Structure 1
Protein backbone atom coordinates (compact mmCIF):
# COMPACT_ATOMS: atom_id res chain seq x y z
CA UNK A 1 0.00 0.00 0.00
CA UNK A 2 1.30 3.47 -0.79
CA UNK A 3 0.79 6.72 1.09
CA UNK A 4 -2.13 8.72 -0.34
CA UNK A 5 -0.18 11.97 0.12
CA UNK A 6 3.28 11.22 -1.31
CA UNK A 7 2.99 7.66 -2.71
CA UNK A 8 5.86 6.27 -0.60
CA UNK A 9 5.43 2.90 1.12
CA UNK A 10 3.31 3.12 4.26
CA UNK A 11 4.71 2.62 7.73
CA UNK A 12 2.93 0.47 10.31
CA UNK A 13 2.78 3.25 12.93
CA UNK A 14 1.22 5.76 10.52
CA UNK A 15 -0.84 3.55 8.19
CA UNK A 16 -2.29 4.46 5.71
CA UNK A 17 0.43 7.13 5.62
CA UNK A 18 4.21 6.86 5.46
CA UNK A 19 4.94 9.37 8.23
CA UNK A 20 3.48 11.73 10.79
CA UNK A 21 4.10 14.56 8.35
CA UNK A 22 1.84 13.02 5.68
CA UNK A 23 -0.80 12.22 8.30
CA UNK A 24 -0.70 15.87 9.42
CA UNK A 25 -0.93 17.10 5.81
CA UNK A 26 -4.05 14.96 5.36
CA UNK A 27 -5.60 16.27 8.58
CA UNK A 28 -4.90 19.86 7.54
CA UNK A 29 -6.67 19.25 4.22
CA UNK A 30 -9.77 18.01 6.06
CA UNK A 31 -9.70 20.91 8.51
CA UNK A 32 -9.26 23.56 5.80
CA UNK A 33 -12.10 22.18 3.71
CA UNK A 34 -9.88 21.01 0.87
CA UNK A 35 -11.57 17.63 1.16
CA UNK A 36 -15.33 17.48 1.02
CA UNK A 37 -17.93 14.76 0.80
CA UNK A 38 -20.23 15.48 -2.15
CA UNK A 39 -23.92 15.97 -1.49
CA UNK A 40 -26.98 16.32 -3.68
CA UNK A 41 -29.17 17.61 -0.85
CA UNK A 42 -30.50 21.08 -1.81
CA UNK A 43 -30.40 22.17 1.84
CA UNK A 44 -26.63 21.57 1.90
CA UNK A 45 -26.19 23.85 -1.12
CA UNK A 46 -28.35 26.54 0.45
CA UNK A 47 -26.43 26.33 3.73
CA UNK A 48 -23.11 26.58 1.86
CA UNK A 49 -24.30 29.70 0.04
CA UNK A 50 -25.42 31.26 3.33
CA UNK A 51 -22.02 30.54 4.88
CA UNK A 52 -20.26 32.03 1.86
CA UNK A 53 -22.39 35.18 2.13
CA UNK A 54 -21.53 35.48 5.83
CA UNK A 55 -17.82 35.11 5.08
CA UNK A 56 -17.94 37.83 2.44
CA UNK A 57 -19.68 40.25 4.83
CA UNK A 58 -16.84 39.98 7.37
Structure 2
Protein backbone atom coordinates (compact mmCIF):
# COMPACT_ATOMS: atom_id res chain seq x y z
CA UNK A 1 0.00 0.00 0.00
CA UNK A 2 1.54 3.38 -0.97
CA UNK A 3 2.23 5.90 1.77
CA UNK A 4 2.88 9.63 1.68
CA UNK A 5 4.01 12.15 4.27
CA UNK A 6 1.31 14.47 5.64
CA UNK A 7 2.16 17.93 4.22
CA UNK A 8 1.46 19.55 7.60
CA UNK A 9 3.05 17.31 10.23
CA UNK A 10 5.04 14.72 8.25
CA UNK A 11 3.22 11.65 9.63
CA UNK A 12 3.16 8.66 7.26
CA UNK A 13 -0.31 8.34 5.69
CA UNK A 14 -1.68 5.39 3.71
CA UNK A 15 -2.96 6.51 0.32
CA UNK A 16 -6.26 4.61 0.31
CA UNK A 17 -9.89 5.48 -0.30
CA UNK A 18 -10.73 4.89 3.37
CA UNK A 19 -8.48 7.83 4.33
CA UNK A 20 -10.87 10.69 3.56
CA UNK A 21 -8.30 13.35 4.53
CA UNK A 22 -5.53 12.23 2.18
CA UNK A 23 -2.88 13.50 1.66
CA UNK A 24 -3.35 14.77 5.24
CA UNK A 25 -3.39 12.50 8.27
CA UNK A 26 -6.37 14.16 9.95
CA UNK A 27 -9.03 16.86 9.73
CA UNK A 28 -6.84 19.02 11.99
CA UNK A 29 -3.87 18.95 9.60
CA UNK A 30 -6.20 19.63 6.69
CA UNK A 31 -7.62 22.71 8.46
CA UNK A 32 -4.15 23.98 9.41
CA UNK A 33 -3.14 23.82 5.75
CA UNK A 34 -6.35 25.56 4.64
CA UNK A 35 -5.74 28.33 7.18
CA UNK A 36 -2.20 28.86 5.89
CA UNK A 37 -3.53 29.05 2.34
CA UNK A 38 -6.24 31.55 3.36
CA UNK A 39 -3.63 33.74 5.07
CA UNK A 40 -1.62 33.71 1.82
CA UNK A 41 1.38 32.01 3.44
CA UNK A 42 1.94 30.03 0.25
CA UNK A 43 3.43 32.23 -2.44
CA UNK A 44 5.33 31.77 -5.65
CA UNK A 45 8.17 34.26 -6.09
CA UNK A 46 7.99 36.22 -9.31
CA UNK A 47 9.53 39.27 -10.89
CA UNK A 48 7.36 42.27 -11.61
CA UNK A 49 6.26 42.36 -15.25
CA UNK A 50 7.89 44.94 -17.48
CA UNK A 51 5.87 48.11 -17.91
CA UNK A 52 5.13 48.60 -21.63
CA UNK A 53 4.97 52.38 -21.13
CA UNK A 54 8.68 52.42 -20.23
CA UNK A 55 9.55 51.36 -23.79
CA UNK A 56 7.41 54.14 -25.29
CA UNK A 57 9.21 56.86 -23.30
CA UNK A 58 12.66 55.98 -24.70
TM-score with structure 1 setting the length: 0.61
- Greater gyration radius: 2
Out of 5, 9, 14, the position equivalent to 2:8 is 5
Conservation of the 8 A alpha-carbon contact between 1:10 and 1:19: no
More helix by share: 1
Unaligned ranges ≥5, structure 1? 44-58
Matches of 2:22 and 2:45 in 1, distance apart?
Answer: 25
1:7-46 pair list within 5 angstroms: 7-10=10-13, 12-42=19-49
Deviations for 1:1-57, whole angstroms, at most 9, x for unmatched residues? 1101111122521111000100000000010111112222337xxxxxxxxxxxxxx
Matches of 2:32 and 2:43 in 1, distance apart?
Answer: 15
Aligned-CA RMSD value: 1.8
Partner of 1:54: none
Unaligned ranges ≥5, structure 2? 51-58
